[in-house]
C-alpha cells in the first residue's frame, strides 16, 4: 500500500511531516532519480534521496518510537546548529543509529522547561498540530499590575497579529510587589504566544517555564539541561492521545527505576561535564 512521501520521510526520522512538505516543495527530494512533488506517494521500495543523499526507509513495523523529556535551560536555541555558536537543545541528546531526534514544538531562547523529542515524525506532527488540541501548561512570572478584568480578557480572547488567541485557564500562584506568578494553559503552540498574550495587557513576562505537555508534567527531579527517556507506558500515553497505534517495545527496561535522587545526581554531573567542555570549546574558538 502506498503512502504520502512526507509521511514516509517523517517516520524515517528526517523531520516532522510539515518540515518534509517544505523540503519536497523546495525540490530537494528525488524518487528513483526524478524530482518529487507534494502529493507524490511511494510504496517503500523506491530509491529516495534528500539533497543527493540516500534515505534509509523503515517500515511501520520496524520503526521503534522513542520519546525523550528534556528540561530546557534558558539560553539554549531550539535549532540543530546556531550560526552564532550558541548552545542548542540538541547538543546533549543521545546518538541514534538511524534517524534523528525531532523536537515537538519549540521554546524560545528565554523560555525554559519541558521539551519533548521523538524519533517518530508522525507523532511529533500530531502532538504539535492545533487540531489535536493538546494542552501545554506554563508557569509565568509577570511584571506589572494585573487586574481581574485583564484576566477575563485573556480568557475570553484577544486579537494578535496572527489571529485571535486566549488562555483556556489561568491560575494565580502568588507573588509580591509587582511580580506575580500564574499558571496558564494553551492548546496550541504559536510563536511566543504566551508572551504576546500578556504583552497585549501591557504587562511583561519576566520568567516563562513550560511545566506540562498533555497530562504529563515535567519530572521534578530532572535537572536543568538533563533528559530522560520515557518508558513504554508514557510513550503510549502520547500515542493514544493523538490516535496512533500503540507500541509494544521500548528501549527503556521494564524494571528500570523511575527518576530518583541518585539518577538525578548522575544527570546533573553529566550536564556539568558537558557545560565545561562547551565552555572550553568556546574559549578555543575565540582565541
Q: How far apart are the first and last CA of the chain?
A: 57
**Nearest 10 degrees: CA dihedral of 56, 60, 63, 66?**
130
Given the residues 82, 108, 120, 260, the one annotated as active site: 108
Is residue 241 within 8 A of residue 134, CB to CB? The reply is: yes
> Residue 108 catalytic?
yes
Contacts of 201 (CB under 8 A, 6+ apart): 146, 150, 153, 154, 158
Among 169, 78, 163, smallest CA distance to 117 is for: 78
Is residue 211 within 8 A of residue 137, CB to CB? The reply is: yes
Please report the DSSP string for 55-123 in residue order. Answer: -----TTTPPP-EEEEEEPTT-BSSS--TT---BTTTTSPP-SSS--EEES---TT-EEEEEEES-HHH
Active site positions, annotated: 108
Amino acid at each position: 500500500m502506498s503512502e504520502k512521501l512526507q509521511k514516509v520521510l517523517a517516520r524515517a526520522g528526517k523531520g516532522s511531516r510539515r518540515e518534509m512538505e517544505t523540503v519536497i516543495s523546495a525540490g530537494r527530494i528525488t524518487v528513483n532519480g526524478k524530482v518529487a512533488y507534494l502529493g507524490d506517494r511511494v510504496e517503500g521500495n523506491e530509491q529516495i534521496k534528500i539533497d543527493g543523499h540516500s534515505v534509509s526507509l523503515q517500515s511501520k513495523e520496524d520503526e521503534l518510537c522513542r520519546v525523550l523529556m528534556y528540561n530546557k535551560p534558558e539560553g539554549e536555541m531550539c535549532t540543530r546548529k546556531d550560526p552564532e555558536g550558541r548552545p542548542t537543545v540538541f547538543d546533549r541528546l543521545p546518538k541514534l543509529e538511524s534517524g534523528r531526534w525531532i523536537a515537538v514544538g519549540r521554546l524560545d531562547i528565554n523560555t525554559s522547561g519541558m521539551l519533548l523529542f521523538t524519533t517518530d515524525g508522525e507523532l511529533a506532527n500530531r502532538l504539535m498540530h492545533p487540531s489535536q488540541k493538546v494542552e501545554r501548561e506554563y508557569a509565568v512570572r509577570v511584571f506589572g499590575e494585573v487586574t481581574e478584568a485583564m484576566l477575563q480578557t485573556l480568557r475570553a480572547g484577544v486579537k494578535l497579529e496572527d489571529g485571535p488567541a486566549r488562555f483556556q485557564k489561568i491560575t494565580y500562584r502568588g507573588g509580591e510587589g509587582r511580580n506575580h506568578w500564574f499558571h496558564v494553559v494553551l492548546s496550541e503552540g504559536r510563536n511566543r504566544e504566551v508572551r504576546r498574550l500578556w504583552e497585549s495587557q501591557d504587562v511583561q513576562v519576566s520568567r516563562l517555564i513550560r511545566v506540562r505537555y498533555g497530562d504529563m508534567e515535567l519530572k521534578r527531579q530532572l535537572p536543568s539541561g538533563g533528559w530522560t527517556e520515557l518508558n513504554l507506558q508514557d510513550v503510549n500515553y502520547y500515542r493514544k492521545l493523538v490516535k496512533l497505534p500503540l507500541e509494544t517495545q521500548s528501549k527503556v527496561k521494564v524494571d528500570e527505576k523511575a527518576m530518583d535522587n541518585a539518577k538525578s545526581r548522575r544527570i546533573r554531573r553529566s550536564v556539568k561535564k558537558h557545560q565545561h567542555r562547551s565552555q572550553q570549546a568556546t574559549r578555543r574558538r575565540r582565541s
